[in-house]
Structure 1
Amino acid sequence: MSLAKYKQKRDFTQTTEPFAGKASGKKHIFVIQRHHASRLHYDFRLEVDGVLKSWAVPKGPSMNPEDKRLAMEVEDHPYDYKDFEGTIPKGNYGAGTVYIWDKGTFELLRPDGGHFDKEALKEIKSGDLKIVMKGKKLRGEFALVKMKGRDENAWLLIKHRDKYAVAEYNSEDYTPEKVKARGTKAKEEMKKTGKKKARL
């Protein structure tokens, strides 16, 4: 898969975000990154065909089947992004703090015996991807379903009703307070820097 769009949006002389990366195992990984940028959101990334297929989830993932979370599909990210944490400098795309909120492996819920990546890409293309997640916070069955009649990048992230489902869930409740504070502080500092430049 092409990472051209990812690379076009970034100045790697300024940001420490990964440039590339290659998958090394048979198991497919996922990572959820809490991204405190201009707007707080969670980046939901699944390893498919050597890259991380990515969606931005404004309200964060949920273990409650009643919560149908909006997930906006964004550009593919390199495999090494699975380990990225830190601050993307002001003036760069996605400026803000990134924290690895959860990571693990995932499987297709309905494999038909074919090649994993081909099956996954087929489901993504059809707008109906169903997976089983094996993380520390996110576990069990989930679906990513493309919305019809709206933005072509708009999907819904939905938890299936299984033994891991809960009645109420807020991803921020599972985020360390120091991480929240760090993100808020970085955002405030970026705003102050912007005001100082405006005065000059």
Structure 2
Amino acid sequence: MAKHDLREYRDKRRSSNTSEPMGDASASEPSGDASTTGKRGKAEEPVFVIQRHEATNLHFDFRLEIDGVLVSWAVPKGPSLDPSTKRLAHRTEDHPLDYADFEGRIGEGYGAGTVIVWDTGTFANATEIDGDSVSASQGLDDGHLVVDLHGEKLSGAFALTQTKLNGDPANWLLVKVDDSGADRRRKPTSTQNESVLSGRGNDDI
């Protein structure tokens, strides 16, 4: 099982030019369970967050709380509610849990631009491999995750599958599962651009 480590996250950032939380030098050891205790108190459902990031190119950062960190993917076009639409999701470095409510401006350097919390909530792990339920940690290692989101803009199950497109193991696909949360007509990433926490848009940061 992969060990999550925040050193890559910290190495890419300088606290002097960003208000992003730095987190600890290394994350806790994996527990094998997506739910966490500790900072957030009693065991709770794990959180997800999708941040709208206007950097060199606009994209949406899709993050899931797994084993004490936010496991992260950059989704250039953002999540789609249409099950027939596949979205490229590029795996990036793990982020600290306190990044889940980060909104602000990142100064010159890595990730320069503005960030808002486009959607957030909790999720339930619904991953199965060969018909057997597996933990989110195991699904991540095996390259296939299904998560049932309970957010303000998004609900229902989404599948993340590692494709290694163009030979890059960081390339995954994000697809909406065809359930009650699917909607082939609604396009929230282009019509709902405000933060669910502050009501601000990126231009207001």
Which TM class, normalised by the smaller chain length?
A: 0.7 to 0.9
Q: For the aligned residues, what is the CA RMSD?
A: 2.2
User: How far 1:70 sits from its partner (Å)?
Assistant: 0.4
- Contact 1:6/1:77, CA 8 A, preserved across alignment: yes
Give the length in aligned residue pairs.
Answer: 178
User: How far 1:164 sits from its partner (Å)?
Assistant: 1.3
Residue 82, structure 1, aligned to residue 104, structure 2: no
Structure 1 unmatched runs, 5+: 184-200
TM superposition score normalised by structure 2: 0.80
Instruction: From the superposition, tell whether residues 162 and 17 of structure 1 become closer, same or farther in structure 2 (CA, over 3 Å).
Output: same
Aligned to 1:152: 169
1:104-183 map, 5 Å: 104-110=121-127, 119-150=135-166, 151-170=168-187, 171-176=189-194, 179=201, 181-182=203-204
Which structure has the bigger radius of gyration?
A: 1
- Contact 2:164/2:170, CA 8 A, preserved across alignment: no
Q: State the identity %.
A: 44
Q: Deviations over 1:144-183 (max 9, x none)?
A: 0011453210000000000111113431211139625447
- Contact 2:115/2:202, CA 8 A, preserved across alignment: no
- Contact 1:23/1:50, CA 8 A, preserved across alignment: no
User: How far 1:33 sits from its partner (Å)?
Assistant: 0.2
Residue 50, structure 1, aligned to residue 50, structure 2: no
- Contact 1:37/1:96, CA 8 A, preserved across alignment: yes
- Contact 1:44/1:55, CA 8 A, preserved across alignment: yes
Q: Deviations over 1:98-142 (max 9, x none)?
A: 010000000111479xxx9x8111101111101110001110011
More helix, by proportion: 1
Comparing 166-175 with 8-17, greater Cα deviation is found at: 166-175
CA distance in 2: counterparts of 1:76 and 1:32, whole angstroms: 14
Instruction: From the superposition, tell whether residues 95 and 23 of structure 1 become closer, same or farther in structure 2 (CA, over 3 Å).
Output: same
